[in-house]
Structure 1
Amino acid sequence: MVAVGRPRRADLDGVILTATADLLVKGGLAAAGVDAIAARAGVGKASIYRRWSSRDDLILDALLVCTASSLKIPEQMSAVEALEFHVAELAGVLSEPRIGPLLRALTARAQADDALAGRLRERWILPRRTVARQLVDRALHEGSVDPGVDVELLLDELVAPHYFRLIYGLPALSREAVAVSVRQVLRGAGVRDHGEGASVQDLSGTTGDGH
């Protein structure tokens, strides 16, 4: 968030963010103009601009607030288990009706807006990549991943299928299929077979509550 003033109401940020998310889900980026957000939130435009310097920053904050919990990893998991959990959380977020379409729209808009593309990388991609990198580092320390693995490529391989499915409107993988996908990638990085019997194709196609 880019704050340019001190809020007068402790709950007003949440009201504005909720109004923004609602408009984005119902009508996309075009529906979430500052006038429309202010009207839906029941605030003046000045209240918005005291808290966010631009509409893009507000929209990104609406996305980030809704998905913050997906970066948390439960304690007492092995590094490999934590990687499976982390990727499953990402896949679940991308399949959420309130989140997936917004991220897809922002990504499309960023193709013609270098500044927005940079903010998406900095505020969406990099925090998630940092978590995944820390987990891979743990796996290397635990000896469960080949020390010669290309970490950057491994990080791409773990998450790329889920962004591909989002961008091209393919069905999200079920949580079980996500686990199979992650294990297949990790096997290539030297992790032992966990004994899965199903293929990703067998388990794909479940969205929403099935992730």
Structure 2
Amino acid sequence: MPDSRRPRSGNRRDEAARLAVLHAADDLLVEHGFAALTVEAIARRAGVAKQTIYRWWPSKVEILLDTLIEDSAKRFPVPEGKATAEAIRGYLRAFARFLTRDPAGKVLLALLAQAQHDPATAESFRERYLGPRREQERALLTRATEAGEIAPRLGPDAALDALVGPLVYAALTGAAVPRGMVSALVEDVLKPALPAN
């Protein structure tokens, strides 16, 4: 059979291998922690050659960032539709669940911890994950403010820090997010505008 008529499965195999690596990294991080996570262990768990991993990613941090980007997009996407106080509240509740109950949330916490003493991790984490997500979150708050749904006393970045900071702190210290905390944060930080009479 001529090459042009051969089934094209290369991309599918590549995508399957890529996903296997991401899942392996995620699972191994949860099982053994960041310090014990190695590219060799990821390759072994994923069933791919170590050279394949290094062809796609320069380090385990970059693998974990890809995992985090994909998991965040699936589990707590930033709302893109109508920006309401309730949409913001729902987003923050999903973020709290991701941090405290979802094993994939451990990737975010591990990268935050690693970024505290590794400037290269901090830079990559900011450029690839925190920066793009913050842009989306800022746009959400701006749309909600313009729609009269919220009336934040702080600028968008400070308001976002005030909203997510307590959730991240609870997760980093192993504490549960108290029931009603997200609603209280939204009320206190964003002061949703009262409906017009």
Per the TM superposition, whether the score is higher than 0.5 is yes
- Mapped to 2, the partners of 1:157 and 1:147 lie a distance apart of 11
Query: Matches of 1:85 and 1:122 in 2, distance apart?
Result: 26
Write the mapping of 1:119-158 to structure 2, written as runs, cut at 5 A: 119-146=124-151, 149-158=154-163
Q: Quote the Cα distance in structure 2 between the aligned partners of 1:177 and 1:11.
A: 40
In the other structure, the counterpart of 1:183 is 187
Equivalence for 1:59: 64
Deviations 1:24-68 (A, max 9, x none): 010011232011111111111011112112221112112222221
- Matched residue SS, 2:45: helix
User: 2: distance between equivalents of 1:11 and 1:102?
Assistant: 21
Q: Secondary structure at the match of 1:152?
A: helix
Calculate the TM-score normalised by the size of structure 1.
Answer: 0.76
Q: Is 2:116 aligned against 1:111? A: yes
SS in 2 for 1:17: helix
Q: C-alpha offsets along residues 154-199 of structure 1, whole Å, 9 cap, x if unaligned? A: 121111110111122221244x542332223222xx6339xxxxxx
What aligned pairs does 1:16-95 form with structure 2 within 5 A after superposition? 16-69=21-74, 70-73=76-79, 75=81, 77-95=82-100
TM-score normalised per structure 2: 0.81
Quote how far apart the aligned CAs of 1:144 are.
3.2
Q: CA RMSD in A?
A: 2.4
Distance 1:157 1:61, change over 3 A: same
Gaps of 5+ in 2: 1-10
Consecutive aligned runs of 4 or more in structure 1 exceeding 6 Å deviation: none
Instruction: Pick closer, same or farther for the CA change 1:131–1:74 going to 2, 3 Å.
Output: closer
CA contact (8 A) 1:38 1:48 kept: yes
Shift of 1:128: 2.6
| SS state at 1:29 partner | coil
Structure 1, unpaired ranges of 5+: 1-5, 194-211
Partner letter of residue 183 of structure 2? A
- 1:157 partner amino acid: A
8 Å CA contact retained: 1:88, 1:178: yes
How many residues are paired up?
A: 184
